[in-house]
Structure formats: C-alpha cells, structure tokens
Amino acid sequence: MSRYIEAKNQSKFNGLKYLEEYYFRIRNIEKFLLKFYHEAYKKINGKKLLEIGGGPVIIPLISASRKIDRIIFSEFLKENRDQIKKFVTNSKSYSFNIFNICIIISN
C-alpha cells in the first residue's frame, strides 16, 4: 500500500466514532482487560509510564493512574491524540466513567 493511501485512510479515522462503537458498554474483553490491568498495576509503583500507540482509549491507563506519578501518552494519529486531550482537559470528550465505576466496584 502506498504512503499516500495510508495517509489518506488515516485522515478519515474518527476516534470518537470508534469509541462509541466499541466502548459504549463493558463487554467480556473489557472486563478481562480491566481485571488484568488492575492486577498488573497493583504490583507496580513508579514515577513514569510511557504508553505507545494508545489510540483514543484510556482503559489501560485507568488502573495505572492510581499507581504511577506521570503517564506519557504517545499516538501517531492526531485524531486519537485530540480525543485523549479532550478527556484530559475535561472538555466534551467521550466518557469512560462506566469503566472507572467497574474498577471501583472490583476493589
């Protein structure tokens, strides 16, 4: 695939639509991942975490945010970075509250 086609396809990606399609409810895979990350980060205390290619999703970082002082998030697509920036700055972003509630209940 040529670089032009790759760039053209990436510019059409809509991070918000992706989140609405795949993260509107907690499915079994999300339950598994939330439990996995919760258990993994229980054993870790650290100053920094580098997330590479996180997409528009913060699920891996929910548990980490309770144990890590600073999370550095990297993502190739501007659309995905914009979704994360909206979430971090509390401006009209996708709500991951249902996932936070799930972690609180599991504790």
Residues 40-98: pLDDT tens digits?
Answer: 888 888 889 899 998 888 878 878 888 888 989 899 888 888 888 887 787 766 666 65
Q: Which residues pair with 71 in a beta bridge?
A: 49
pLDDT at position 59: 79
Q: What is the pTM of this model?
A: 0.68
Confirm if 37 and 64 have CB atoms less than 8 A apart.
Answer: yes
Could you tell me the pLDDT band of residue 1, with boundaries at 50, 70 and 90? very low
**Burial (Cβ within 10 Å: 0-12, 13-18, ≥19) of residue 30:** middle
Type of residue numbered 79: E
